[in-house]
Homo-oligomer: A and B are copies of this chain.
Amino acid sequence: MAPLPPRPAPPPTLEPHRLKEAVERTLTTFLATKAESTTAGGRLPNLASPLQEFLAAGGKRVRPVFAMIGWHAAGGVGSVDTAHHLAASLELFHAFALIHDDLMDRSDTRRGRPTVHRALARTYGRRPPASPAEDPGAAADRFGEAAAILIGDLAFVWSDELLHAGRPTPGQLARVLPLLDEMRTEVTLGQYLDLAHTGCAGPDVETAFTVLRYKTAKYTVERPLHLGAALAGAEPALLDALSAYAIPLGEAFQLRDDLLGVFGDPDLTGKPTLDDLREGKATVLIALALQRATDAQADRLRSFLGCRTLTEDQADASRRIIESTGAHRAVDGMITQRYKEALAALESPLIDPVVTDTLRLLADQSARRHT
């Protein structure tokens, strides 16, 4: 991508890191309260703790930041504390999605640390095996998986509670809940479609784009913007104007993610670059590579995809095939095109100019990021 032109800075209150900090405080306070209330009886384990650790390990808080921008885009009407609660609840819902996702993918690490099911399996290791016949390692894995399902479920339950704790008005709830229902159905459908095409002989390009739209573009950018804007009382026309920015940007975000998943620096991303190939993820990058490959290349690439024992050498061979088909370059081109579309959409007179500098900055970061 070409170097960036000089950009005007967003107003201080709309700087992404400032928005992130405010949401972070809401999230931290809520989980501290839950840690106290759930263990108050003395007989219950502290189930807030795995979630606190998970969130402390990092994360860009992309969805909360977009939600806050959506709220400001619609004039920032109502209590800012309610907006912070809505934004924070999206992050807790996302924690639920990631914890279940890591379990489904059997990923060992996330953000450079053990995934929740792996970390919980270790806590089991300190207990004696249930019976002499039992393999302690298998029992610990099984406990970790079951516990991670429940910790994920709890993050979902608490994301609702966190939203309610922000005391939205009845009018705000009536506007927000249908969008939240939509978002949650969309991301679950996207995940299912992803799963159904993962490890297969490679998706077609159209299917890969459907997965990407449901799983990321809508979920990561469009719906958070909509939810924040709806909280402030946005008209449908503003939601549409925000979609014109959000969908291409969300696609660019995921296409970049797919590139980083295969060609990224694990030290920066915190995720091994073998994972996407080992899982045979249904990405546009892979679909394009298979579409453009010679028969021999496609056969070779398919023999690597979804292979749980893929070696570094085989991963390198896969990368060389993807490069040589031009798929890497093509995806780079798609990102640039969508990035430009997103920026062009910011010219809409419906979007409050106070947020456009921040949205431009977020577009730069999403499309150009290395992590």
Contacts and interface: CB of A to CB of B under 8 A. Distances in A.
Interface residues of A, number: 67
A184 B199 contact: no
A171 B173 CA distance: 11
A309 B134 CA distance: 10
A309 B133 contact: yes
Interface string A289-328: 0000000000000111111110000000000000000000
A157 interface: yes
Nearest to A195: B146
A171 B170 CA distance: 8
B177 A164 contact: yes
A150 B181 CA distance: 15
B196 A131 contact: no
A45 B193 contact: yes
A44 B307 contact: no
B206 A185 contact: no
A201 interface: yes
A170 B173 CA distance: 8
Interface in A190-234: 191-193, 195-196, 199-201, 206-207, 210, 214
* Chain A interface mostly: helix
A132 interface: yes
B127 A200 contact: yes
Contacts of A307: 130-131, 133-134
A118 B307 CA distance: 23
Given A43-B206, A43-B210, A195-B146, A188 B305 contact: no
Given A104-B145, A131-B280, A158-B185, 11 more contacts: A38-B185, A44-B210, A45-B192, A104-B149, A132-B303, A134-B307, A147-B195, A151-B192, A153-B156, A153-B188, A154-B188
Interface of A: 38, 41, 43-45, 47, 100, 103-104, 106, 127-128, 130-134, 139, 142-143, 145-147, 149-151, 153-154, 156-158, 160-161, 164, 170-171, 173-174, 177-178, 180-181, 184-185, 188-189, 191-193, 195-196, 199-201, 206-207, 210, 214, 280, 302-309
